[in-house]
Amino acid sequence: MEMPLVDHLEELRQRVLRSLLAVVIGAGVSLVAVKPLVRMLEAPAQGIHFLQLAPGEFLFVSFKVAGYTGLTLALPYVLFQVLAFVLPGLTLRERRLIAPAVAGSAVLFLAGLVFAWWALIPAALRFLVSYGADVVEPLWSIERYLDFVLLLMLATGLAFQLPVLQLLLGALGLVRWRTMLGAWRWVVLSSALAGAVLTPSTDPITMLLLGGAITALFLIGVALVALAENLKPGTP
């Protein structure tokens, strides 16, 4: 059923407001339990003493942690609102492509958060703590530490969207898997640069781990595109 432009804009406004409300509710719930969340984020930095260097620093940190957590909790509902707005205007083929891609994007984003928490953050902290440990005693600002952890997790979650982007480009016929694989040298170089840009620290361990993960995700994306091309009828 066709709708006037004004109705589309009103529907978009309603869905944006619902999504923002979900984020606010998630942040509010997270704020109630912010101290356990902060303790969990402090866990990889074992043996480090955190300081509050300015009045109200931990208060602002609490709002920041609650905001990131609320956005993560509300992500499935936000993606549902996006799909509910977009899908009615798409063809059946486009629906079959977009809906799994959005769902896969959410799964990969969460996988990126887990990978950053399980591998990147501990490796980065081990390097940063051990370097110069015999010269200086590590006393860290809680705000700067949580900025480091939250930004690294967010950057990793975004980097994990690469296979979804590749699959969309391949399904739309814009790029073939052989073309993607032929550009592997540029991908390795770009992964190293992305690892240097996306990581909030300057240690080589985190850069190498994130760059290696991006390269592995690229190869997974190539395999998915190749599988999708082979499943198409009449594909040479």
- Number of C-beta neighbours around residue 24 at 10 A: 13
Phi-psi region of 46 (alpha: psi -120 to 50; beta: other; left: phi over 0): beta
Q: Which of 193, 51, 52, 203 is nearest to 122 (CA)?
A: 203
Strand partners, 75: none
What's the CA gap between 156 and 162, in Å, rounded?
11
Higher local confidence (pLDDT), 142 or 205: 142
Which has the minimum average pLDDT: 22-31, 83-92, 205-214? 83-92
Q: And the tokens for 152?
A: 């690294």
Q: And the tokens for 88?
A: 């009615």
pLDDT digits (tens, 9 = 90+) for 65-124: 999 999 989 988 888 888 888 777 767 766 777 777 778 888 889 999 999 888 888 888
pLDDT digits (tens, 9 = 90+) for 34-55: 999 999 999 888 878 898 888 8
Residues 6 or more apart whose CB falls under 8 angstroms from that of 153 comprise 112, 113, 116, 117, 121
- Can you point out the beta strands (E) in 57-212? 139-141
pTM: 0.79
Stretch (H or E) spanning 19: helix 5-32
**Are the C-beta atoms of residues 89 and 66 closer than 8 Å to each other?**
no
What's the CA gap between 181 and 187, in Å, rounded?
9
Residue 231 pLDDT grade (very low, low, confident, very high; cuts 50, 70, 90) = low
Q: And the tokens for 137?
A: 């005693």
What's the CA gap between 42 and 191, in Å, rounded?
28
CA 143 to centroid of chain Cα atoms: 21
Amino acid at 142: I
Residues 6 or more apart whose CB falls under 8 angstroms from that of 158 comprise 109, 112, 198
Residue 3 pLDDT grade (very low, low, confident, very high; cuts 50, 70, 90) = low
